Amino acid sequence: MAWQRAGERFAPVSSEPTSGSTAVSAETPSPYPHDLHPGLVRGIDVGEQRNRFGIDKIVFFITAVIIVSFIAWGVTSPESVSTASTTAFDWAIVNTGWLLNLTMALGLVVMLYIGFSRLGRIKLGTDDSEPEFSRFSWVAMMFGAGIGVGIFFYGPSEPLAYYVSPPPHTVEAGTAEALHQAVAQSHFHWGLSAWAMYALVGGAIAYSSYRRGRVPLISSVFKPLFGSRGTDGIIGKIIDIMAIIATLFGTAATLGLSAVQIGQGVEIISGAGPLTNNILLTIIAVLSVGFIISAVSGVTRGIRLLSNTNISLTLGLVIFVFLAGPTLFLFNLIPSGIAVYLDELLPMISKSLSWGDDTVEFQGWWTAFYWAWWIAWTPFVGMFIAKISRGRTLREFVLVTMLAPTTILILAFTVFGGTAIRNSQNGVEGFDGSASSQQVLFDMFGQLPLAQITPFILILVLAIFFITSADSASLVMGTMSSKGDPEPNKLVVVFWGLCMMGIAIVMLLAGGETTLTALQNLTILIALPFSAVLLLMMVAFVRDLRTDPAYIRRTYARSAVENAVVRGLEEHGDDFGLAVEPAPEGRGAGADFDSTAENVTEWYQRTDEDGNAVDYDYDTGEWADGWTPDSDDTTDTADAAVDADGDHGDVEKQRRTDPGSWADDAHDGTQR
C-alpha cells in the first residue's frame, strides 16, 4: 500500500501502472515495454538474453595493431622506449599524478556510499536470484584473487624499505614508530583503497550483467551515461580498447615481476652470479609455453587444481613464517599495525604532491605505482569478482569484497614484513635496505628452517602464478574483444597471452639494469587515462542504481507510507489502516517520477539477436516470436564452421549467454 499527500488530503495510490502521473486505462496502449511498470521488473539475467557473439573486429584489430607496434618498437629499440617512457613519466607524475590519488580516494568513498545507503539493498541479480556459491566458497575464491606474486615480491621488502627509509614527513628511521608506520603504509597500498576499486568494477559489471541483462563488457556499464547508441558505438569501442590495453600492461607488469623473482630463485639454487636479461627472457619463454598449453587445452579443471594448490602453498608459507619466525613479535604487531593503519588512513590519503619534491619521488616509486597497478588490474579482477557474486546484495558484496581480501593481505604483509624488519633489528646481513626486493624474500626464508627446500617451493608457486594469471587475464581480454562472449575463441585468447609476454619482455629490455623502474613507469603511464574511465564509471554506476526497480519501489513506498502515517495519526490517532486505491492525477506516490522516461524503461525491452524488439511475457518467460533456448542451435553450427575452414574471425555465435560458462573459470587463477 502507498499514499501520497495531495494538497489538503491524502489520496490512496493505484496499484495499476501509471504513466508519470497519469493512470493507464485498459483501452489505452501501455507506455511501458511489455505492459510492465519499471518498478515491477524483477531484473534480467544476462543468461536470459539472446545475444550474437563473435570477434569485435574494431576493438580487436585496433588494439592488436597498437600493442604489436609497441612490442616491435620495444624489441628493436629498447633504449628509445626507455627514454620516451622516462620522459613521459617525469611529466605525468608531476602534472597528472593527482588523478590517480583522486580516483582511488573517490572509489573508496563511492563504494562505502553504495554499501551503506539504500542502494546497498539492491541485488546483483534478479529479485528471486540466490547466490551460486556458499559464503565460505565465495570468500575462498575471492581470497584466490587477492593472493599473487605481489605478496612475495613486496611482502617482505616493502615494509622493510619503509622501516629503514620512512615515507616523507612521517617518523624517524629505525624506531618503534617507524616499525608501525612501515606496516601501516603497506596496508594502505594493499588494503581498502585497492579493493574498493575492484569492488567498483566488479559490482558494476555484476549489476549490469545479472540485473540489467547486458553482456559482460566494461562499456556496458556506461549505458546510463551514453545510452545504447553510444556504448554500442564508438564510445563503447574506445572504452573496451582502453580496458584491454590497461589489462595487458597491468598483467605484463605482474608477469615481469614473476620472471624477476623466479630468476633470483634460479640464481640462488644454481649458485650462479647475477642473471642477465637473456636468462629472464628464457624464463618467460619457458613459462609462456606452459601458458599456451594451458590455454589451448581448455582443461579448466586442471587450472583450478593448480590455482587451489597455489593458494594452499601460499597460505602454508605464510603460516610457516609465522610459526618459524618471531611469532610473539608478530602476535603483537598484527593488532597494533591495523590500529595505526586505521588511524593514519586519512593522513596517508592526504599525502599529495603538494607536500614537496621528496613526496613526488615517494609517490612515483611507491604509491602512484600501486594505484596505477590496481587501476590497470580493475577490468581483470573486476570481471573475476563479478563472476562469483551473482545473487548477493550490494551491501554484502561491498563489505565482503573490501574486508575479506584486505584482512588476508594485511596478515600476510605483517607476517612477511614484520619478520624482515625483525631481522633488520637483529642486524642480520641482507636486511639493511640495500638488497633488492627479490633478494629480501629468499634471504628471509634463508634465515628460517628448511632453507634448502623453500627456494624450490617459492619458484614453483611463482611459476604457477605466472601461468594461471596469464591464462585468466587472456580469457578476460578474449571476452572483451569478442562482444562479451564468455567462451572466446582459443586463438584469440592465446594471442592476447602472447601480447602480454611481449610487453613483459619489452619492459625488461627497456629497464636494463633497472627493470623495476621500467615496469613501474609504463604501468603508471597506461593507468592514467584509464583512471578517467573509472571516474566516469562511478557516475554511471550510481545513476544506474538510482533507477533500479527495487529502488523505485522503495522510493514510492517511503513517500507514500510516511505521508499516509502522518495523516492517519492526525485524523484517526491509533486507529487507522492503509489501503490501495486509485489516486487523482498528480497526487499518487509517483507524482514526481516519470515512469515512462527512456532511461528507466529502455533497458527491459527484450530483443532478438539482431536488436529488434520482440514482445515477451515476464510471467511465463515466453517470447512472442516463439523462440526458445532449445531452438537456438546455431552455436554448434558456428563451431563446426570454424573447425571446417579455420576462419575464426568472421564466424559469429548466436545464442543466449550461459552464465554458468561465464562463471566456470571463476577461480582459475586470478592472481596479481
Question: Which CA distances in Å does 123 have to 42, 43, 116?
Answer: 10, 9, 14
Inform me whether the pLDDT recorded for 234 exceeds 90. yes
173: Cβ contacts below 8 Å, ≥ 6 apart: 163, 164, 165, 166
Cα 25 to Cα 16: distance, rounded to the nearest angstrom: 9
- CB neighbour burial string for 118-148, b if at least 16 within 10 angstroms, e if fewer: ebbebbbbbeebebbbeeeebbbbbbbbbbb
**Whole-model pTM?**
0.87
SS3 letters for 227-280? Answer: HHHHHHCHHHHHHHHHHHHHHHHHHHHHHHHHHHHHHHHHHHHHCCCCCCHHHH
* Residue 300 binned pLDDT confidence (cut-offs 50, 70, 90): low
- Please count the other Cβ atoms lying within 10 Å of the Cβ belonging to residue 272: 10
Please provide the average confidence, as pLDDT, over all residues in the chain. Answer: 83
Higher pLDDT, 13 or 395: 395
pLDDT digits (tens, 9 = 90+) for 141-193: 777 665 678 889 899 999 999 999 999 988 999 999 999 999 999 999 999 99
* Residue 642 binned pLDDT confidence (cut-offs 50, 70, 90): very low
Winning range, highest mean pLDDT, from 220-234, 252-266, 646-660: 220-234
How many residues can be counted in the chain? Answer: 672
**pLDDT attached to residue 583:** 77
Report the range of poorest mean pLDDT among 94-103, 284-293, 401-410.
284-293
- CB neighbour burial string for 572-597, b if at least 16 within 10 angstroms, e if fewer: eeeeeeeeeeebeeebbbbbebebbe
**pLDDT attached to residue 545:** 96
Cα 627 to Cα 355: distance, rounded to the nearest angstrom: 63
Q: Which three cell numbers stand for residue 161?
A: 624499505
Winning range, highest mean pLDDT, from 560-569, 608-617, 627-636: 608-617
pLDDT digits (tens, 9 = 90+) for 533-548: 999 999 999 999 999 9
Cα 19 to Cα 122: distance, rounded to the nearest angstrom: 24
Mutual orientation of helices 490-511 and 515-545 as an angle, nearest 10°? 130
CB-count exposure of residue 507 (10 Å: 0-12, 13-18, 19+):
buried
